[in-house]
Every structure is written in structure tokens, then in C-alpha cells.
């Protein structure tokens, strides 16, 4: 089980590498283009600068909006035994069919306002399903009249069909899960400081699979986040109340108690997680640190400046889910501490330095108690650093730069035991050995091979193996194997790649 999680964590490394840059674009663009930032820094109102910030926001948001799709592809590519391009395509197609199926069910059988967002969990289910189908059936031989759809061409087809079934299952099971989170939020709102802990804990825990979007709007925009009168008007929701107080020139004293649903973020995002990246960096082998320093530094900077934590969290979430639970617990404690210390800092986007400055120091300590974040943050940095350094090193968590041993020998032995593998080896030999082969592709019925020396090709031998014809072309030969051509092409390329 540990090995499987390690492999899954490694599969996520490719899409995760995109996130730090996307996070900086989204975080900086969003934080510096909102009205609160412009009111503090009027020079930001310049049209060319706002246009630039808008482009940054949209560019970064595109990545995060499509994160489940990107992860579906990434998981399939990362866990495929071979022919990873087909696996990635199948993962993308399957996820689009999956979400399209859910949308169709909602349109046909649900209320107009109903919505289902399965987030990264849906992407993980699709990615793992496609990986299973790909590794098991990519060399399937179909009857001759269906031969064109055999081999790796079969994978996007079967993946799309299975995705329809999965979409129907999620349509049935997901609404009760979302409703359960709503009920949970209602109870949390009535629990005071302990409720602040549970809010932070469950918000972080559900954020791992994208379900946090079900929780925080309940507190930010509805009466669960409080009801207060500001400038003679009754206002619901923690963030609505906070911004009304911010806009009221006559408001004095500490900001709304509803800021307890924001203030706990800053210690974790500005201090804790950046320190965790340093801990992970020091936990990986020294010889791997230099090449991975860029990822760790950019992820820490993204969290510190903008409060976007996905690049850090996804680097260990699937490699060690138990470590993510510890992180979620610590984040809950951060919300609890901020509550009992009466830290009253709001936010627009997240809990990074930009929002901290705008809604903490710039509003004054009398209204925010922002200075209390500093000692708490320093303590949090130490806690996160040592926890992550010790646990990642002790359990060899497969974070970036931590070597993971895979048993390639067993995979190769299993492959060599198949008749398909033996036939592919025979074809390679009859083509003049691998040293004579430049490129191998296939169309519907023909194995297309470019070779260095056509005189070394054993045409009769290829015909003896089942080729109905062997044709010479300008740069090689074409062997007509019918529906098996595509399967042979994939297996030959896999053998050639393994021998390089």
C-alpha cells in the first residue's frame, strides 16, 4: 500500500510542477486588482496595470479551474506501464465524458440550481480507472472486422464508456455528501472557538479533494458566519460584514468576530507551509536537493505571497495522506489560536502576505491585533519544519527529490512471458535487428517501418509470421499484419525504448 501511494505521488509530480507559476499569476493578479487593494494603493488603478493583472488572473485561474482535468491526464501518464501518450489522451477524454455525463444527469433529473463538483477526487477516480484499463487492455486483440479498434486505440473508447458509468454513480452519491457537509457547517457555526478549530480542520481536509467550496461560502456569505448591523443595515455572512465595516468610516474597535473564519490562515500559509517545504527539502537526499530546489522555493514563495498552497500540499498529499491529515489538524489549531487571541484580519482571496498587509498592518493593530500573528507564525514555522523534516525522512515519503525504488524486473519478466512480446522480438530480428530500425508506426492494417538497410529485412520471414504482404517503400518497408499492426507497433516501440 505504501508503495502504491508512493507511485501515485510520483504520478502527480508532472501536473504539480505547473502550479507554482500558475499560483503566483492567480494570487498576485487577484490580490492586486480588487477594490480593497486599489483603495490602499491608488496607482494600481491605472488601466494598463489593471489589464495586466486581469490577464495574470485569468491565465492562472485557467490552470486551477481545469486542475481536475490536468490531474486526470497526469495520473494516467504517470502510472501507465508504457505508451503513456495514449494513457494521457484517454485520461483527458474520460474526464470530459465524466463531467459531461454528470451535467446531463443534472439537467434531466435535478433542480436548475443544483451542481456537483467532484474536484480532484473525481480526477483521481478517473485517472486510476484509465490506468487500470490502459495497463490491462492496451494490447488487446479484437476480431478481424474490429481490428482497427484494437490495441491502444481501444483504450480511449473503453475509458469513455466506463466514464459514463462513473458519472452516473457520482451523480447518485455526491449530493448526499455535499448535504452532509452543509449540516456539518451548521453545527460548527454554533461551537465558538472549538468550532473555529473544526472549521479550519475540515476546510483543509476537504480542500484535498476540492470539497472545501461546499464549506466556506456558508460562513462567508450566509448567516452561519454571523449577523451584524453596520451603518444601520443588517448584514449576513462573515466576509459581507467585514467589508461593510471596512467601508464604514465611523466603525471603531475590533473587526467582526466572523474574521475567525479567515484569521487562522495566515500562520499556516505565510509561515507553516513555507517552513514545511524547507523541512522536506532537508529530508531528501543531498544529491537530489540542487535539482529540486526550484520547485521547493517557488512553492514556498507562492504560499507566502499569495496563500495558494496546492503546489506544496499536492507534493505530499497522495504520497502520504496521513501527513496531510496532520497538516489539516495543525491548520485547525491555527484557526483556534487566532480565535482565542482575537486576531481579526479579513481577506479577499487567501491568507498570503498581500492580504495580510492589506487587512492587517494597513488597518491598524487596534482593529486587527495583526501583530500577534508574528509570534504565532514563528512558532508555527518551527512546528511545521521539524514535523515535516522528521516524518518525511523517517518514512521516506515520496516528495519531489525522494527516490522511489520500483521493481522493473518483475514488469519486464511479465512482459517477456507473453506471446505478443515474443512475436514482436521476432519481427525486430526479421527487420534486421533493432540497430537497423529507425522508426516504427502503424496505420489500420500496416506496420510501417523505416530502416537503415532494406537488404537486411527478411520479407519471407515476416510473411511466415502472418504478414499477408511486405512492401518496399522509399525509406523502409510496410508489413501488412491487418488488425494486429497497431498492437505490434506499440510492443516493438516498448521493447526498443527499454533497450535504449
Q: Report pLDDT for 409.
A: 41
Sheet of 437-442, strands arranged across: 437-442, 446-451, 476-480, 470-473
Neighbours of 312 (CB within 10 A): 29
Q: Residues 230-251: what's their mean pLDDT? A: 88
Task: Please name each of the domains of the chain with its CATH number.
Answer: 2-206 (no CATH), 220-394 (no CATH), 408-499 (3.30.1360.60)
Residue 441 has pLDDT above 90, yes or no: no
Give the C-alpha separation, 305 to 410, whole Å: 46
Residue 257 near residue 274 (C-beta atoms within 8 A): no
Q: Are strands 227-230 and 437-442 parallel, antiparallel or unpaired?
A: unpaired
For residue 411, what pLDDT band results from cuts at 50, 70 and 90?
A: very low
Phi/psi of residue 438, each to 5°? -95, -45
Give the C-alpha separation, 207 to 221, whole Å: 19
Grid cell, residue 248, equals 464604514
Q: Report pLDDT for 416.
A: 42
Residue 420 near residue 312 (C-beta atoms within 8 A): no
Neighbours of 185 (CB within 10 A): 23
For residue 413, what pLDDT band results from cuts at 50, 70 and 90?
A: very low
Any catalytic annotation for residue 413?
no
Q: Report pLDDT for 412.
A: 46
Alpha helices in 284-401 (DSSP H): 286-306, 310-317, 321-340, 353-359, 365-368, 373-394
Query: Cα–chain-centroid distance for residue 457?
Result: 47
Average the pLDDT over each of 201-205, 449-453, 483-487 and give the range with the smallest value. 483-487
Q: Give me the DSSP letters along 206-225.
A: HHTTTGGGGTHHHHHHSGGG
Nearest to 482 by CA among 439, 431, 451, 443: 443
Residue 94 near residue 130 (C-beta atoms within 8 A): yes
Catalytic residue among 443, 444, 464, 471: 443
Per-residue pLDDT reduced to its tens digit, 61-102: 898 889 889 989 998 998 888 888 999 999 999 999 999 999
Per-residue pLDDT reduced to its tens digit, 331-367: 999 999 999 999 999 887 788 998 899 889 988 999 9
Question: Which residue(s) pair with 305 in the sheet?
Answer: none
Q: Report pLDDT for 400.
A: 87
Residue 267 near residue 337 (C-beta atoms within 8 A): yes
Neighbours of 126 (CB within 10 A): 33
Query: Which of residues 437 and 417 earns the better pLDDT score?
Result: 437
Grid cell, residue 478, equals 510496410
Residue 297 near residue 406 (C-beta atoms within 8 A): no
Mean pLDDT of the chain: 87
Amino acid at each position: 500500500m505504501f508503495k502504491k501511494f508512493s507511485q501515485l505521488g510520483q504520478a502527480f509530480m508532472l501536473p504539480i510542477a505547473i502550479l507554482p507559476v500558475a499560483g503566483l499569476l492567480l494570487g498576485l493578479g487577484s490580490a492586486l486588482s480588487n477594490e480593497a487593494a486599489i483603495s490602499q494603493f491608488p496607482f494600481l488603478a491605472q488601466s494598463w496595470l489593471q489589464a495586466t493583472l486581469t490577464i495574470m488572473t485569468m491565465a492562472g485561474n485557467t490552470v486551477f479551474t481545469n486542475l481536475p482535468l490536468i490531474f486526470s491526464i497526469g495520473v494516467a501518464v504517470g502510472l501507465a506501464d508504457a505508451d503513456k501518450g495514449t494513457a494521457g489522451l484517454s485520461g483527458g477524454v474520460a474526464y470530459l465524458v465524466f463531467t459531461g455525463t454528470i451535467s446531463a444527469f443534472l439537467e434531466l433529473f435535478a433542480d436548475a440550481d443544483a451542481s456537483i463538483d467532484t474536484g480532484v477526487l473525481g480526477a483521481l477516480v478517473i485517472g486510476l480507472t484509465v490506468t487500470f484499463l490502459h495497463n490491462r487492455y492496451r494490447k488487446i486483440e479484437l476480431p478481424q472486422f474490429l481490428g482497427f479498434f484494437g490495441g491502444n486505440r481501444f483504450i480511449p473508447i473503453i475509458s469513455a464508456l466506463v466514464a459514463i458509468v462513473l458519472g452516473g454513480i457520482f451523480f447518485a452519491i455526491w449530493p448526499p455528501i455535499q448535504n452532509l457537509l452543509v449540516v456539518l457547517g451548521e453545527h460548527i457555526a454554533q461551537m465558538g472557538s472549538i468550532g473555529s478549530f473544526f472549521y479550519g480542520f475540515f476546510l483543509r481536509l476537504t480542500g484535498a479533494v476540492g470539497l472545501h467550496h461546499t464549506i466556506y461560502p456558508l460562513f462567508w456569505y450566509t448567516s452561519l458566519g454571523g449577523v451584524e448591523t453596520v451603518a444601520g443595515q443588517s448584514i449576513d455572512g462573515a466576509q459581507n460584514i467585514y467589508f461593510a465595516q471596512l467601508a464604514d468610516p465611523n466603525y471603531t474597535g475590533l473587526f467582526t468576530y466572523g474574521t475567525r473564519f479567515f484569521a487562522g490562515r495566515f500562520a499556516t500559509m505565510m509561515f507553516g507551509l513555507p517552513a514545511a517545504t524547507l523541512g522536506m527539502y532537508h529530508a531528501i537526499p543531498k544529491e537530489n536537493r540542487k535539482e529540486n530546489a526550484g520547485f521547493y522555493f517557488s512553492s514556498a514563495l507562492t504560499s507566502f505571497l499569495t496563500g495558494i498552497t496546492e503546489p506544496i500540499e499536492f507534493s505530499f498529499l497522495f504520497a502520504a495522506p496521513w501527513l496531510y491529515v496532520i497538516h489539516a489538524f495543525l491548520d485547525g489549531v491555527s484557526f483556534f489560536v487566532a480565535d482565542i487571541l482575537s486576531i481579526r484580519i479579513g481577506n479577499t482571496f487567501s491568507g498570503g502576505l498581500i492580504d495580510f498587509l492589506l487587512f492587517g498592518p494597513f488597518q491598524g493593530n487596534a482593529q486587527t491585533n495583526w501583530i500577534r500573528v508574528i509570534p504565532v507564525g514563528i512558532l508555527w514555522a518551527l512546528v511545521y519544519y521539524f514535523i515535516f523534516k522528521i516524518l518525511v525522512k523517517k518514512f521516506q515519503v515520496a516528495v519531489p527529490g525522494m527516490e522511489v525504488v520500483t521493481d522493473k524486473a518483475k514488469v519486464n519478466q511479465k512482459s517477456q512471458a507473453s506471446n505478443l512480446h515474443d512475436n514482436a522480438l521476432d519481427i525486430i530480428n526479421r527487420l534486421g535487428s533493432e540497430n537497423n530500425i529507425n522508426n516504427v508506426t502503424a496505420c489500420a492494417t500496416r506496420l510501417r517501418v523505416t530502416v537503415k538497410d532494406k537488404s537486411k529485412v527478411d520479407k519471407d520471414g515476416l510473411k511466415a509470421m502472418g504478414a499477408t504482404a511486405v512492401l518496399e517503400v522509399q525509406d523502409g518497408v510496410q508489413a501488412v499484419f491487418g488488425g494486429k499492426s497497431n498492437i505490434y507497433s506499440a510492443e516493438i516501440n516498448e521493447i526498443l525504448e527499454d533497450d535504449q
